[in-house]
Structure 1
Amino acid sequence: MLEAALIEKCADPSLDVHMVEEFVRAVGNGDPLAVTVKVGQKKILVEKAATPEEALAIARRYVGHASVRVGMTSYPAHLGIKSGTELSPTLFDACENLRMGTVMFAKVMRIVTRWYGANASKEALPYVLSDSLHAWVSGEFEGKDVFEAQDPGGPIAEKQAVRPHGTRNSDEPSLPSGANVQPGDINSAGMRIDLSGIGLNAPGVPVR
């Protein structure tokens, strides 16, 4: 579990502590030196880095040739650069990686919140979070690249304590699943993923 002091100091303030913890738990392994490399659906085994310098060298070797995610938030290393030589060592600083990752994830949550529309209230938050985590892993939401997309601005779905996946309050309405999901209509939007299977190493999930 992340230290509260690290979250308070480094994480995007638009995300509450429960969102940050769930985000890091679902998409990373908490290792600030982690480097995950994939070509299509195939994971490339790379050596485990013992220092930030080693992690940076590994990432530089593959950026431009494969999908590379780094640090405790599995941040997409290719963003904003043209070659691996431009990668910054700060990607492997725990605080900076958490800052960059949560800033980007907050944008992804705003993109998803906007899709849910006016009904993106506290009742919708578990679904917004679920879809946002899936979008982070796949790199897409509704067929669009979430990392390159423009930030739509606006609030994230009303914050509440994020409960462990698979649980809900007894008075929380159940959202029915169905094929006819309409943007902006939370009543027709079902839970589209199971958080228990999410992760960069989950089979069948494309990573950008």
Structure 2
Amino acid sequence: MVDAALIQQCADPALKPAIVETFIERAGSQDPLTVAVRSGNRVVLVPRPSTPDEAMELVRQHVGRNIVRVGITQYPAGVDVAEAGELKPDLVDACANLRIGTALFAKVHRIVTKWYGNPTDKEVLPQVFDDAIIAWQTGYFDGTAVFQAPDPAEVKLTEPTPEGEGETAEQRGDHTAAGDSDSGRETANTDPKKAGIRIDLSGIAREK
């Protein structure tokens, strides 16, 4: 489990600590040097880095050609840069990764929350959070590329009830979180800003 003091110090204040903890548990990593690489639905095996420099070298080798997730939050490397040379070592720094990762997830959560009509019903909130997690993992919600989408900043995020008290989006058979099946498979682009995030959720489960 990520240290509570680190969450308090570094996580985006828009998310309550309990939300951050659950987000990392379900979609992140305990190791700030974790680099996960995928090509379409295929996991690309890469050596496990032992230093920040090795981790960043892995990221630079694959970003723009494959889908790369980095660090504690499994941040989608390349979404905010034009080329690999612009990537910063912050990606593999625990505090910096937590800061940028939770800020981006907060935006994704707001997008999903707005789609649901900004609900406050405790029975609906777990569904909203489940769909936000899937949107983070796939990069899409209801056909929208969530990492590049505008931020509905007026939406206030509400803490969901503990995991297990509500059905997940997958259990409900709700496919809106992943969006259209074709849009979720957008071919990797040399421009990281336009690259889709394509994640095989079953593969994520095995890695965890």
TM-score bracket, normalised by the shorter chain, equals: 0.7 to 0.9
Where do 5+ consecutive residues of structure 1 fail to align? 169-173, 178-189, 194-199
Could you tell me how far 1:158 is from its partner in structure 2? 2.8
8 Å contact kept, 1:120–1:157 = no
Could you tell me how far 1:93 is from its partner in structure 2? 0.3
Could you tell me how far 1:92 is from its partner in structure 2? 0.4
Q: Deviation above 6 Å: which 4+ runs of structure 1? A: none
After superposition, the C-alpha distances for 1:53-75 in whole angstroms (9 at most, x for unaligned) are 00000000001110011001110
8 Å contact kept, 2:71–2:91 = yes
CA distance in 1, matches of 2:27, 2:55: 18
Aligned to 1:167: 165
Aligned to 1:110: 110
Aligned to 2:7: 7
Aligned to 2:37: 37
CA distance in 2, matches of 1:30, 1:63: 22
Aligned to 1:142: 142
8 Å contact kept, 1:56–1:92 = yes
2:190 corresponds to 1:192: no
Could you tell me how far 1:154 is from its partner in structure 2? 1.8
* Secondary structure of 2:36's aligned partner: strand
* Secondary structure of 1:107's aligned partner: helix
In angstroms, what is the RMSD of aligned CA positions?
A: 2.3
Aligned length, in residue pairs: 179
The alpha-carbon distance between structure 1 residues 191 and 117, as it changes in their structure 2 partners (threshold 3 A), is farther
Scaled by the length of structure 1, what TM-score is found? 0.79
Aligned to 1:186: none
Aligned to 1:130: 130
Could you tell me how far 1:13 is from its partner in structure 2? 1.0
8 Å contact kept, 1:11–1:102 = yes
Aligned to 1:180: none
* Secondary structure of 1:203's aligned partner: helix
CA distance in 2, matches of 1:40, 1:147: 18
Could you tell me how far 1:201 is from its partner in structure 2? 5.9
The alpha-carbon distance between structure 1 residues 42 and 118, as it changes in their structure 2 partners (threshold 3 A), is closer
Scaled by the length of structure 2, what TM-score is found? 0.79
CA distance in 1, matches of 2:61, 2:98: 23
Q: Percent identity?
A: 44
After superposition, the C-alpha distances for 1:94-144 in whole angstroms (9 at most, x for unaligned) are 000000010000001110110011434443221111000000000000001
8 Å contact kept, 1:110–1:151 = yes
Q: Which amino acid aligns with 1:202?
A: L
CA distance in 2, matches of 1:73, 1:149: 19
Aligned to 2:72: 72
Q: Which has the larger radius of gyration?
A: 1
